[in-house]
Structure 1
Amino acid sequence: MTAETNADSVVVGAGIVGVMAALYLQAEGRKVLLVEREEVAAGASAGNAGILAFPEIIPVASPGIMFKAPKWLLDPLGPLSVPPTYGLKIAPWLFHFWRASSRKAFAHGIAAQTEMMHLAAAEMRRMRETPELAGFFDTTGTLDLYDSEASFDAAASDWLEKEKAGFQFTSVGRAEIDRLQPGLAPQFRHAMYSPAGIQVNDPKGLTRAVADLVTARGGALRKGEVRDIAPNADGAIITLDDGATIKATSVVVAGGAWSKTLAARLGDPVPLETERGYNTTLPAQAFPLQRQLYFNDHAFVVTPLSEGIRVGGAVELGGLELAPNYRRSKALLAKAARFLPDLKTEGGREWMGFRPSMPDCLPVIGRSSASPAVLYAFGHGHLGLTQSAATGRLIGELAAGRPASLSLAPFRPGRFLRGG
């Protein structure tokens, strides 16, 4: 005989998006139960770079991207790779990615991300003003570096879009680069500097602190993997891997890369794929890092954390089952050592995690087609931390039946269906 529990609002997933959704549901007067397959911040919320990337409104799926992609895909250690054994499985996602790279879709994506990022900045400001969370945020500024004048000029249209969206930055040359971050290789003579860049100095710690707030405010946390969500007249019945069931008035699916299967069972076959992200965290004394560094021509970042220096980035589309390929993290670290000649690369800790990625680089936020009691909040790709509080705000509004703070049409679950 299996155990049965009654609950008000159940949030599936205790990463940063899930715990933020829980926090905002509580603000709406809901009693929340978090259900997590491992532990709080066990996945991408523990291993991300800690950047609040509000100006990152430019979708990866962009006009001309399909001419660059084949070269990247042929390099197993390049900025975008697909293991040969995963090629057929990824084909539908790549088709939607190609469609999302049209000029019309690209412009639509920028407009949607711009709205989302302004909401994200406003809601994360509230988190920064919360006493229990304030210590996790540092204003470090962000330095976007380019290898050459040609690549710097090629990015001009992206920076123009960011400027039109209201984000501030300054073009800087070598003398200013040296002032902002001493110790860079001489090739970096062109950069953009954003003084407002905010660093989360402990992404895992922040996620756990938000979860602690949820439990301190009357929420509960339960370990278990959700196998099924069956809507009914009263909400939904959730079945866990041990056979236990939970009767819930409402459910939020915020399980990151694991959300695809649950959405499909609910009748929403979203084309979510898994970006396998790699990084290495070095000791703090490895380099006197002053701020967030983006190496734009190489698709990786170096960021300052309370525990040390994190070197990570690039994308491997390889699903949930393949073994980690730590040659990728080693390749990133070798590049970082070339670009920061005084970087000490010993004593690092390697990590691989799963980012839930949609072809158009927009998350899935909205109601399930199976029941208005089941809400979706997943698919943020590299922007889960950045957009977590905004997503929580939107989920709270949906649960309360109030108009959303922005149009949810670009994020609807069925947007990739024919006629969607």
Structure 2
Amino acid sequence: MTSEVIVIGAGVVGLSTALALQARGLSVTVLDREGPAAGASAGNAGAFAFTDILPLASPGILRKAPKWLLDPLGPLSLRPSYALQIAPWMFRFWRACSPSRVAGSTTAQTALMDLSKAELEPFLAATGTLPMLRKEGNLQVYESKAELDASEPGWAARAAHGIEFQHMDAGQMAAIQPGLAPRFTHGTFTPGWYSIADPKLYTLALAQRFIDAGGKIDRAEVLSLRETIDGVEIATKGVTKRAGRVVLCAGAHSHLIAKSLGDRIPLETERGYNTTLPSTAFDLRTQVTFGGHGFVVTRLSTGIRVGGAVELGGLKLKPNFKRSEAMLRKAQAFLPGLDRQGGTQWMGFRPSLPDSLPAIGRSTATARVIYAFGHGHLGLTQSAGTARLVADLMTGAKPSLDLKPFSPQRF
């Protein structure tokens, strides 16, 4: 049996895309190796970070990286056994940190953020998930005036793009979020920061909506793709499936599948860690970002999530949950009233490209295959916008923004 469209990946980007295609009248099947919400879509911080327009690849990160890399439990770590394998990606990352490339990436990221924000609430309303949306803002905290001053170029870039924020002293921060340790003397509050009640429950709700509208979700590990005379052949562990067209949204595994079509896309895996505590663990009123330490604390409907940081270690190395424990110890020191008992640990794979932009566009091998992966920390944030762009490409509509900066072939 040949499906009209097969979407590979049942995370938030894949399911959002499947629903957008379904809304255009297409018959869609979703394939996933583990089922809906099994990867990063389950354990992320739950933020729609539309104000997060600055790429990870930047001169600022180059200044911080050497210090961070010396701490195996710090905000950025590299497993020594993985260093040689990731070296080509790191070289591309370094090149993407040049001022001209950062400026280009920021412009492209801003355009995708604006589209994603515009698409979000209509998409949530159409899928019956609008009650899950929260608008509680984000508080970025600093341990000195010097640390705040060092962040000013980033805030200036946001201001240039019309993003609202307010710098605060300790007293103003306490009015928004009581209970911060006195070491945090300054902060910046961003009111236009949205979140979802729980990212896993949201993704599962999208899956159910898709099924209720006639869609089908099959569990299958996709190994390769091959163009045929009348479509695309999808080799999986077990059976071969066929589709008229394919959208590849398989997160951190996407580049392995794209390689079967001859597309070599430098996707790497940022391994993220977190601990979800009971809802009673702390009176959290807004998401708090401890940027100097690389993690956030978020209030979800299902608990208080402490997580973030980046470990460069690929897909195969065992998790190092000492990273989760280190963040949790810091969180208790930074929020002295936090009860860190009874938490559940998690590790997931964030699919990241060197310039911090996703790959959205057609395969070089066949126009029948569209790529939509590599969103890094921003998969949830950019899911509705990406779905709109893929649906436009699939149906022949003019995309809402210039896709050249997101071309899968830009590397």
TM-score (norm 1): 0.96
Q: Which moves more between the two structures, 187-196 or 311-320?
A: 187-196
- Measured in 1, the distance between the counterparts of 2:293 and 2:346 equals 19
Q: Indicate whether 1:163 and 2:155 are aligned.
A: no
Q: Indicate whether 1:228 and 2:224 are aligned.
A: yes
- Measured in 2, the distance between the counterparts of 1:392 and 1:187 equals 42
Matches for 1:14-413 after TM superposition, within 5 Å = 14-63=10-59, 65-130=61-126, 132-242=128-238, 244-413=239-408
SS of 1:95's equivalent in the other structure is helix
Residue 370 and residue 144 in structure 1: after superposition, are their counterparts in 2 closer, same or farther (change >3 A)?
A: same
Structure 1 outlier segments of 4+, above 2 Å: 63-68, 127-131
How far residue 285 of structure 1 moved from its aligned partner, in angstroms, is 0.6
How far residue 65 of structure 1 moved from its aligned partner, in angstroms, is 3.4
Question: What letter corresponds to residue 210 of structure 1 in structure 2?
Answer: L
How far residue 68 of structure 1 moved from its aligned partner, in angstroms, is 2.9
SS of 2:126's equivalent in the other structure is coil
User: Residues 336-373 of structure 1, C-alpha deviation per residue, up to 9 Å, x if partnerless?
Assistant: 01100010000000000011011100001000001000
User: Residues 354-411 of structure 1, C-alpha deviation per residue, up to 9 Å, x if partnerless?
Assistant: 1101110000100000100000010000000000010000000010112111011011
Q: Which moves more between the two structures, 183-192 or 384-393?
A: 183-192
SS of 2:308's equivalent in the other structure is strand
How far residue 60 of structure 1 moved from its aligned partner, in angstroms, is 1.3
Residue 19 and residue 131 in structure 1: after superposition, are their counterparts in 2 closer, same or farther (change >3 A)?
A: closer
- Measured in 1, the distance between the counterparts of 2:250 and 2:397 equals 24
Gapped runs of 5+ residues in structure 1? none
SS of 1:218's equivalent in the other structure is coil
How far residue 131 of structure 1 moved from its aligned partner, in angstroms, is 6.2
- Measured in 1, the distance between the counterparts of 2:266 and 2:274 equals 26
Which of 7, 11, 16 pairs up with 2:7? 11
Q: What count of residue pairs does the alignment treat as equivalent?
A: 411
Residue 52 and residue 64 in structure 1: after superposition, are their counterparts in 2 closer, same or farther (change >3 A)?
A: closer
- Measured in 1, the distance between the counterparts of 2:322 and 2:50 equals 30
Question: What letter corresponds to residue 339 of structure 1 in structure 2?
Answer: F
- Measured in 1, the distance between the counterparts of 2:63 and 2:300 equals 36
TM-score (norm 2): 0.98
- Measured in 1, the distance between the counterparts of 2:134 and 2:16 equals 20
- Measured in 2, the distance between the counterparts of 1:362 and 1:401 equals 23
Question: What letter corresponds to residue 366 of structure 1 in structure 2?
Answer: G
- Measured in 2, the distance between the counterparts of 1:71 and 1:233 equals 54
Gapped runs of 5+ residues in structure 2? none
Q: Which moves more between the two structures, 96-105 or 131-140?
A: 131-140
Question: What letter corresponds to residue 274 of structure 2 in structure 1?
Answer: N
Question: What letter corresponds to residue 193 of structure 1 in structure 2?
Answer: F
How far residue 71 of structure 1 moved from its aligned partner, in angstroms, is 2.2
User: Residues 303-332 of structure 1, C-alpha deviation per residue, up to 9 Å, x if partnerless?
Assistant: 000111000010001000000000000010
User: Residues 273-312 of structure 1, C-alpha deviation per residue, up to 9 Å, x if partnerless?
Assistant: 0011000000011101111111111111000001110000
- Measured in 2, the distance between the counterparts of 1:20 and 1:221 equals 13
How far residue 239 of structure 1 moved from its aligned partner, in angstroms, is 1.2
SS of 2:208's equivalent in the other structure is helix
How far residue 207 of structure 1 moved from its aligned partner, in angstroms, is 0.6
User: Residues 221-280 of structure 1, C-alpha deviation per residue, up to 9 Å, x if partnerless?
Assistant: 1111011110122120111111x1111010000000010111111111111000110000
- Measured in 1, the distance between the counterparts of 2:69 and 2:409 equals 28
User: Residues 129-177 of structure 1, C-alpha deviation per residue, up to 9 Å, x if partnerless?
Assistant: 3362012111112111111111100000101111111211111111111
Residue 373 and residue 131 in structure 1: after superposition, are their counterparts in 2 closer, same or farther (change >3 A)?
A: closer
SS of 2:346's equivalent in the other structure is strand
Q: Please provide the CA RMSD for this pair.
A: 1.0
User: Residues 98-120 of structure 1, C-alpha deviation per residue, up to 9 Å, x if partnerless?
Assistant: 01000110000100001000001
Question: What letter corresponds to residue 90 of structure 2 in structure 1?
Answer: L
